Amino acid sequence: MNIPKKVNQAVFALWATLAISAIVAAIDHKSGTTDSGKFMFYLIIDGLSCILPYKISKGSNSARYIFTVLTVISFLVILGGETTDMTKLDLVLSAVFTPVYLFIFYCLFSSEANYWFSQAR
């Protein structure tokens, strides 16, 4: 079964957010707002996060839920006020990504996506 259009859109948006996140990490490092250790940590997290859109595009229902849980936890941490280690650019990016992640959730949990994930093995 072919991947539904909405799942493709969600996967594309996920790849875009990961690329933008890596670019922002590089900008923060170049500007001196983050040190090399934090920069490497961000790149490792972004690198590991690349597994999720790949697995989602292959029909992994568990990857879809892992992405959802991790994203919701990260937004709850931000809403809880744990932003002291975040740069201004990271905070702006979090605000900009909020509607993007809502769109991704909408696409990943649409009826056609739910059907496809239940059929994909």
Distances (CA, A) of 116 to 13, 24, 56, 84, 108: 19, 34, 11, 41, 10
Query: Which tokens belong to 62?
Result: 């568990």
Q: Nearest-CA neighbor of 67 among 107, 25, 120?
A: 107
Predicted confidence at residue 93, as pLDDT, reads 87
Q: What pLDDT is recorded for position 89?
A: 84
**Mean of all residue pLDDT scores within the chain:** 90
The pLDDT assigned to 120 comes to: 61
Q: Quick one: average pLDDT of 3-25? A: 94
Q: Per-residue pLDDT averaged across 24-53, rounded?
A: 90
Domain total of the chain: 1
Dihedral (C-alpha) 84, 87, 92, 97: value to the nearest 10 degrees?
-80
Q: What is the pLDDT of residues 60-83, one digit of tens each?
A: 999 999 999 999 998 888 888 776
Task: Take residue 118 and report the two structure tokens written for it.
Answer: 């239940």
User: Are the C-beta atoms of residues 120 and 1 closer than 8 Å to each other?
Assistant: yes
Q: Above 60 in pLDDT, residue 121?
A: no
Question: Which residues constitute the domain of residue 45?
Answer: 5-119
Among 89, 109, 78, which Cα is nearest to 29's?
Answer: 89
Q: What is the DSSP string of 65-91?
A: HHHHHHHHHHHHHHHTT--TT--HHHH
The pLDDT confidence band at residue 4, using thresholds 50, 70 and 90, is very high
* pLDDT over 60 (residue 16): yes
Higher pLDDT among residues 82 and 107, named by residue? 107
pLDDT digits (tens, 9 = 90+) for 30-41: 988 888 888 898
